[in-house]
Amino acid sequence: MESKDQKFDFDDILIQPAITSLVNSRKMVSVFDENHMLPLFTAPMDTVTDSDHRDVFRKNNIYAIVPRTETKHFTLDNCYQLNDWMALSLDQFEQLFEAGYPVPVTGKLQICIDIANGHMKRLTDLVRKTKEKFAGHLSIMVGNVAHPGTFFELSAAGADFVRIGIGNGSGCSTSVHTGIGYPLASLIHDTFMEKGRRGGKHAKIVADGGIKKYADIIKALALGADYVMCGGIFNKALESAGHTYSANKKFDGYTVPGDQVDQYSSEVRTAFNMGSVFYKKFRGMSTKAVQAHLGNEIRSSEGVTRMVQVEYTLEGWTENFIDYLSSAMSYTNSMDLPSFIGKPDWNLISQNSLNRFNK
């Protein structure tokens, strides 16, 4: 059997500063893309965002994707009216785009084909067919994949964004049950390095799954991800779409939540800022409950459901992220995202090194 290089995760590396940085202040650094958005997508999960509250992410310069639980009955007219990123199942995408819908004169659809296994040839063929027909009127995000070769097949078919990472997410149990996966930090690095070897134009890398802290996002970008997709991190924000509950003093709020509250009300926001404790429902999109809601037949679950404590407002989290990313870019002599993504040096570290850095 062919020997394999050992793969690594985010905790196994540290970004190395530049020998000398010309960045005299973090104010000199731009952390935004060409649309003045942060390099962040919400995971298309119904406990993260929805069509009614996606604006709260947009106001914080984060791309939001409306989940399949809301788009399952959409027509292409609905898609154009939404004028935002939306997630569709592979079956739904196929039905919509093979229904003889005319190519629009103006406007652009932004579709995330949200499936667990992006390695299916059916997906690659469908992407190629629809991109040939709709061309500049359609941006497609596909995935998830856990092999650099699949990234390039989907890219060659016309995908604009490819989500890489299987089994890493906090709401996903695929790797636990199936043994399928690829450590995300290595997958980003290997895919990015192969992009450099091949040259030319390719899809954007969207790192998806298992992002737990600010440093994970920053390391993902440094390794070569163009964007990072977050689910659990955003679910912990007060304004996320997950049902929100007050703490239940009798049961400490975790296993048995208290009353459901409106997380968007000024009263709840004030109470949270004053120290009140709230909890959120969080669930992966491959749980039996979600699949049943989507009308899919499923015998086993590859997702998890749990209650998590609200830790921050989205505005507060975003402000911190901008500060930390700006700081990392200043250390590495990076003035903007193109000069940071995939560019800094990094080092593998030992467990003892990790223990010393973890505070």
Helices (H), the chain: 55-58, 68-71, 76-82, 90-97, 121-134, 148-157, 174-178, 184-198, 214-223, 232-235, 266-273, 288-293, 314-331, 337-340, 351-357
Q: What is the per-residue pLDDT across 207-256, written as a single tens digit (0 to 9) for each?
A: 998 899 999 999 999 999 999 999 999 999 999 998 999 987 666 555 56
Among residues 88, 36, 44, 35, the alpha carbon closest in space to that of 64 is found at: 44
Determine the average pLDDT of the residues in 197-213. Answer: 93
pLDDT at 28 over 60: yes
Least confident of 51-55, 112-116, 248-252: 248-252
Q: How confident is the model at residue 10 (pLDDT cuts 50, 70, 90)?
A: very high
Answer for the pair 23, 352: CB distance below 8 angstroms, yes or no.
no
- Bridge partners (DSSP) of residue 163 are 206
For the 10-240+314-357 domain, the top CATH level (class) is alpha beta
Cα dist from 61 to 21, 67, 126, 187, 222, whole Å: 27, 19, 31, 26, 20
CA distance 358 to 147: 30
What is the residue extent of each domain of the chain? Answer: 10-240+314-357, 245-309
Point out which residues pair with 238 in neighbouring strands. none
CB 50 within 8 A of CB 29: no
Q: Which of 186, 164, 150, 153 is CA-nearest to residue 4?
A: 186
Distance of CA 37 to the CA centre of its chain: 14
For the record, the structure tokens of 310 come out as 């609200």
